[in-house]
Amino acid sequence: MEQVAPIAQQDAIIKVPEVTFVFWLMKVAATTLGETAGDAVSMSMNLGYFVATVIFATLFIAAVAIQIAAKQFHPFLYWLTIIATTTVGTTLADFADRSLGVGYAGGSTLLFALLLGSLAIWYRTLGTVSVISISSPKAEAFYWVTIMFSQTLGTALGDWTADTAGLGYTGGAVVFTVLLAIVVLLTYSTRLSRTALFWAAFILTRPLGAVVGDFLDKPVSSGGLALSRYTASAALLAFIVACVVSLKHRAAERAH
């Protein structure tokens, strides 16, 4: 007869994936997709940043609600929610930076403060911001709000680096790749907090995806490749789906 797990164990199920190389590869692809898909809806479809933000915010809220209500880890659902955060992050950042006139520097500063505030409140409320602690609806809510802020910050930071700082898309990609490499080096060569390093890497993958996405779809005159936003988005989405289908995905586990 099949044994039923105690209620306490059922409530403690972690519904986020273990952090592996595949996780980071898919994260960069998802953040790049967020940039191309967000631009496709706001620019190519001529809906504007505000309408596009409303559309993606609705999808984001729905995806998070379904993710929190789920009883176990579902790779498709998790990555769908990640993509929802990247797309709403793209259009929200563009709306604040361009339509509201906040500017890249102002938007990045504001979003960085919101991100730190989210992490601080999360830590103060639950005592940890570690991925392996995300086993309750409250922790999941903090997790997804924090991710949404990090994705929005990444878009603004990527645009600031490429445009205001004058590094261009390839220059910005090099900068964020080097910063990620430093985080990896610190992970394997120091005893710094793995949780802090995880969030540092998680945040840095977003501006990397933002500048790569812009490099793919922006005009040649602006330093891009002028590829179709629809084609680039479809290719990135197909890659993510292929990774979910063909590779093994497990939920993160608590350290024993």
Q: Distance (Å, rounded) from C-alpha 42 to C-alpha 123?
A: 35
3-state DSSP assignment of residue 132: helix
Sequence-ordered list of residues with C-beta below 8 angstroms from that of 112, at least 6 positions apart, any chain: 153
Low-confidence ranges of the chain (pLDDT < 70): 1-12, 254-256
Residue tagged 């044994």 (tokens):
3
What residue type is assigned to position 156 of the chain?
A: A
**E strand segments, the chain:** none
As for how many domains the chain has, the answer is: 1
CB 22 within 8 A of CB 78: no
Instruction: Please tell me the pTM assigned to this model.
Output: 0.88
Q: Are 217 and 39 in contact, with CB atoms under 8 Å apart?
A: yes
Domain with 156 in it:
13-246
Q: Is 165 helix (H, G, I), strand (E, B) or coil?
A: coil
Q: Specify if 40 maps to a domain.
A: yes
Instruction: Specify if 4 maps to a domain.
Output: no
Q: Is residue 84 part of a domain?
A: yes
Q: Which residue has the tokens 């890249």?
A: 104
pLDDT at site 116: 94
Which tokens hold the place of 37? Answer: 């898909």
Predicted local confidence at residue 254, as pLDDT: 64
DSSP of 59-124, one letter per residue? HHHHHHHHHHH-SS--HHHHHHHHHHHHHHHHHHHHIIIIIS---HHHHHHHHHHHHHHHHHHHHH
**Within a domain: residue 17?**
yes
Query: What pLDDT score does 174 carry?
Result: 94
- φ, ψ dihedrals at 206, nearest 5°: -70, -50
Picking from 67, 92, 62, 93, the residue whose alpha carbon sits closest to that of residue 79 is 67
pLDDT of residue 12: 61
Residue 256 lies in a domain: no
